[in-house]
């Protein structure tokens, strides 16, 4: 596609448009199709959730966007279109170590991780690391960068920013490290923040603080957020729209209200039914039968057919279900809702 196309024409007002992304991992045992044809858009200022269990490809999707895949992972198909001011850049085809991506990473698209200790260097103060990030991407003096860093630490609720800036991560408690990591990632005011399981390793009261912080800071700075998590409670709490993934495929996609109140795909229904609820009285849970298949021996057809209670013999194991729109903006990839015409 033409890189200098005017904004909006191809992107429809989206900040990021992922189209038919395929990311595969190559190893001696074979090829794992970690992400196998995933498409989604995110508009400026929107919060999108990507949810699914281990091995569904949610983290690989985010690593593909930033091109920080492990060495044996490769994008083998699809586009990752990012609207950077008036240019549309296909992140999938850019050189992962090239100028374009280095300018985008950390500045336009930032990421926060599950374990804050891995995001920071233990031998530099958090201030040094935030100031370095600011000075790489912006032409400002050390003093100015210092002031910006203090300001960002204040925004994320560090108790004493002027002092915290000179601290090392090992001096900070878990919750404070998380806040410092958010400050680092937001220091260049990115347009898009990718949060990969940021609340998984922390206690519930710290998780509540973190969700509140993300909500406040999103309202404040207006960036878009992609929230990647296995915790549907976190998705319900924070996001506007959600995409549910299973074994590298998108199974359902819609507003959180649609997906949680009117789940259509048998996998989404199964997931919701298997979570214990914080509701009064006895609420039974129903597990999904079976286990997630071995990634080297993926099922044919619909990936979920081996565990699906609504399995249609002769259809589901043969064909890949297409995405069907069941309501405006609510898409499901399941033969229960159409797409099997091609078979007859």
Partner 1 sequence: MTATTRAMNMNERAIISVRNLVKHFPIEAGFLRRQVGVVKAVDDLNFDLNEGETLALVGESGCGKTTTSHCIIQAQRPTAGRVLFRIGDAEPMDLTQMEKGELKEARRNIRMIYQDPYSSLNPRMTLLQIIGEPLVIHRMVKSQDDLQERVAELLRLVRLDPSTMNRYPHAFSGGQRQRIAIARALSLSPKVVIADEAVSALDVSVQAQILNLLKELQNQLGLTYLFVAHNLAVVKYEADRVAVMYAGKIVEIGETEALYTNPRHPYTEALISAAPNPDPDTKHRERIVLSGEVADPGNLPGGCAFHPRCRYAEDRCRQEIPELIEVGGNEGQAHQAACHFADSLDLTGIAGAILREEGESA
- Contacts to partner 1 by CB under 8 A: 53-54, 173-176, 203-209, 211-212, 230-238, 256-257, 260-261, 270-272, 274-281, 283, 285-288, 291-292
| CB-nearer residue toward partner 1: 17 or 207 | 207
Q: Give how far Cα 154 sits from Cα of 51, 142, 164, 172, 173, Å.
A: 31, 18, 10, 15, 16
- Shortest reach from residue 171's CB to partner 1, in Å: 13
Closest CA to 130 of 110, 103, 160, 113: 110
Alpha carbon distance 247, 298 (integer Å): 8
Ramachandran class of 270: left when φ > 0, alpha when ψ lies in -120 to 50, beta otherwise: alpha
Alpha carbon distance 48, 188 (integer Å): 21
- Shortest reach from residue 77's CB to partner 1, in Å: 27
- Shortest reach from residue 268's CB to partner 1, in Å: 11
Please, are residues 65 and 39 in contact by the beta-carbon 8 Å criterion? no
| CB-nearer residue toward partner 1: 20 or 294 | 294
Q: Which two tokens stand for residue 18?
A: 């992922």
- Shortest reach from residue 92's CB to partner 1, in Å: 29
**Which residue intervals of the chain are DSSP H helices?**
58-66, 99-104, 116-119, 126-137, 142-155, 161-164, 174-186, 204-221, 232-238, 256-261, 266-273
| CB-nearer residue toward partner 1: 152 or 232 | 232
Q: Hey, is 162 helix, strand or coil?
A: helix
| CB-nearer residue toward partner 1: 142 or 163 | 163
| CB-nearer residue toward partner 1: 75 or 182 | 182
Q: Hey, is 42 helix, strand or coil?
A: strand
- Shortest reach from residue 207's CB to partner 1, in Å: 7
- Shortest reach from residue 4's CB to partner 1, in Å: 40
| CB-nearer residue toward partner 1: 9 or 173 | 173
Q: DSSP assignment, residue 299? A: P
| CB-nearer residue toward partner 1: 117 or 211 | 211
Site of tokens 């990718």: 194
- Shortest reach from residue 287's CB to partner 1, in Å: 4
- Shortest reach from residue 303's CB to partner 1, in Å: 14
DSSP letters of 179-193? Answer: HHHHHHHHTT--SEE
| CB-nearer residue toward partner 1: 18 or 225 | 225
Q: Bridge partners of 244?
A: 51, 252
Q: Which two tokens stand for residue 123?
A: 């031998």
């Amino acid at each position: 596609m033409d890189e200098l196309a005017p904004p909006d024409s191809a992107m429809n007002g989206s900040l990021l448009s992922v189209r038919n992304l395929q990311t595969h991992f190559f190893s001696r045992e074979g090829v794992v199709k970690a992400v196998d044809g995933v498409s989604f858009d995110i508009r400026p200022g929107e919060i999108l959730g990507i949810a699914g269990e281990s091995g569904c490809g949610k983290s690989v999707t985010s690593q593909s966007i930033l091109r920080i895949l492990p060495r044996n992972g490769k994008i083998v198909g699809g586009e990752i279109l990012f609207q950077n001011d008036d240019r549309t850049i296909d992140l999938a085809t850019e050189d992962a170590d090239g100028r374009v991506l280095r300018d985008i990473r950390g500045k336009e698209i930032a990421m926060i991780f599950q374990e804050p200790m891995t995001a920071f260097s233990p031998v530099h103060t958090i201030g040094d690391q935030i100031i370095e990030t600011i000075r790489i991407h912006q032409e400002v003096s050390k003093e100015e960068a210092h002031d910006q860093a203090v300001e960002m630490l204040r925004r994320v609720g560090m108790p004493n920013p002027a002092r915290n800036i000179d601290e090392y991560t090992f001096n900070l408690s878990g919750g404070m490290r998380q806040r410092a990591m958010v400050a680092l990632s937001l220091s260049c005011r990115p347009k898009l923040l990718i949060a990969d399981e940021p609340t998984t390793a922390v206690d519930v009261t710290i998780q509540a603080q973190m969700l509140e912080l993300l909500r406040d800071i999103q309202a404040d700075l207006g960036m878009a957020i992609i929230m990647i998590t296995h915790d549907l409670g976190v998705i319900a709490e924070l996001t506007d729209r959600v995409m549910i993934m299973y074994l590298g495929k998108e199974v359902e996609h819609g507003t959180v209200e649609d997906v949680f109140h009117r789940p259509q795909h048998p996998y989404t229904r199964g997931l919701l039914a298997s979570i214990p609820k914080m509701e009064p009285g006895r609420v039974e849970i129903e597990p999904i039968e079976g286990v997630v298949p071995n990634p080297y021996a993926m099922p044919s057809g619909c990936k979920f057919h081996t565990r699906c209670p609504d399995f249609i013999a002769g259809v589901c194991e043969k064909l890949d279900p297409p995405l069907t729109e069941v309501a405006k903006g609510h898409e499901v990839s399941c033969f229960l809702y159409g797409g099997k015409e091609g078979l007859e």
